[in-house]
Amino acid sequence: MGTSGVPLLIFLAFASTSYPAAAYSRGDFPPEFVFGSGTSAYQVEGAAAEDGRTPSIWDTVAHSGESMDNGDVACDQYHKYKEDVQLMVDTGLDAYRFSISWPRLIPNGRGIVNPKGLQYYNNLINELISHGIEPHVTLFHYDLPQVLEDEYGGWLSRKIIDDFTAYAEVCFREFGDRVSHWTTLNEANAFALGGYDNGAFPPKHCSAPFGRNCTIGNSSTEPYIVAHNCLLAHASVVRLYKTKYQAVQHGFVGLNLFTYYFIPLTNTTEDIMATQRSNDFYLGWFLDPLVFGDYPRIIKKNAGSRLPSFTQHESHQIQSSYDFIGLNHYATMHVKDDPESLNSKQRDVIADVAAKTIFGETPPSEFPTDHPGMQGVLEYLKQKYENLPIYIHENGQMTPYNQSVNDTSRVKYLEGYIGSLLDALRNGSNTKGYFTWSFLDLYELYGGYKSSYGLYFVDRTDPDLKRYPKLSAHWYSTFLKGGNMGTYRIRKAKGEASRNSKVTPRKSQI
């Protein structure tokens, strides 16, 4: 996934409430509802030093850690995009969500456009369009050009607003005649927390005691600064698109956020209030400015002077600067109140939430499949944020990387979560589409190649990085092609998957 499924808020625990999956088919969804799958540039493209691409902050972090994993080769989609698009066709996808690599398209961060990068994305988009697959494009997925990080600190500086807007304009100008769905930033909230609070993500900023193994950063202030600049940059890009391109290209622009479905650990007033604080700090941090024009009251109270403020003009520009909101959702969490954290002399975003860790052991290697919280998340957004248009941009099961294509837990997960999504739609949710994460087993932000989310297994021992469909690919394909998922049998899918196993691959994958 974009953030690989490990909780960014470590004070939560996975829920385990039973949820019965009901029979359904694609015909139960609105005809215009979009189903797809996704990846991101650094996680799938490879060719990290080819054809003029320069390093991003993700390259830098990947090559500076203890792990030998990196995205230098990844799935080599840069060279194998035609093969992958054919797999998408075979699977039955309506759409493919991918990101553009800023340092591949504009190697110096600003200025001259790389013709090889431009050619690659034109080729990929044209290949998708020619096969009837709709491209959904993300502009930023954790891969800021390292040159901008070195020059002025990247997202910590307001200089990023002009550079990001100029980069977005290149994309709108060059690709907007064929791309109608744009996302400015992937998981803007997770980027601020993971990159600048606990230091787990690029550019790996943090300070003790909130993060470890960082050489730079301030967990108490930087996440708020980065989030503020993300909102301003997003609003600038949306304003550009709406004033210059939308009338001609007829597309849509949104922002993507990561979310859990938060549930109080108990029905006490304290835990209920802590759950609302978690929602406010995790979603309201970005959605309140976008929908209402300012940060939630509890964030302003708890963060105090550490939280930048919007001018009246900025507030006006940010409010309603979206056509949709993208959500990355994987799991349900329980929340317990922790008032002592607010008494800490050192405060970061997580402390400001004032909720307590109740993990007693290592987080699970797979997400529970017995409580799809999709309906709960969408119901909360419907009630709190005026039923704004939503795309589920990421949803999928984390499993340890192995050569088995019989990913039964992923099938159960997808069946439950898509069913929960259908329940939300029947209850009035304004959700427009759903994308699994991920299409291929790829380089994960957290865990590298040790974990996988893919519908397709990528054989990393094969020099050609052959792709093989898993059980989940067969399940999703059956669903997309109109099968009734209440009568679909895992045993049948296992038979299909075994015929496509690593040992006896077929040329026709689906």
Cite the active site residues.
187, 394
In sequence order, the 6+-apart residues with CB closer than 8 A to the CB of 111 are none
Q: Determine contact, residues 348/220, Cβ cutoff 8 Å.
A: yes
The whole-angstrom separation of Cα 390 and Cα 208 is: 36
Q: What's the DSSP call for residue 415?
A: H
Tokens representing 393 are: 């941009």
The whole-angstrom separation of Cα 91 and Cα 36 is: 10
**Tokens 């006006």 -> residue:** 316
Distance spanning both ends of the chain, measured CA to CA: 23
Side-chain half-sphere of 344: how many Cα atoms within 13 Å?
21
Longest C-alpha distance within the chain, in Å?
Answer: 63
Q: Determine contact, residues 390/436, Cβ cutoff 8 Å.
A: no
Tokens representing 232 are: 């301003």
Q: Determine contact, residues 18/413, Cβ cutoff 8 Å.
A: no
Residue 432's H or E segment, with its range, is: strand 431-437
Transcribe 475-506 into DSSP letters.
HHHHHHTT--TTT--HHHHHHHHHTTSSSS--
Helix, strand or coil, per DSSP, at residue 376? helix
The whole-angstrom separation of Cα 463 and Cα 391 is: 36
Helix, strand or coil, per DSSP, at residue 34? strand
Tokens representing 229 are: 């600049």
Q: Are strands 451-452 and 399-400 parallel, antiparallel or unpaired?
A: antiparallel
| Per-residue CA distances from 163 to 65, 145, 148, 159 (Å) | 28, 11, 9, 7
Residue 225's H or E segment, with its range, is: helix 222-240
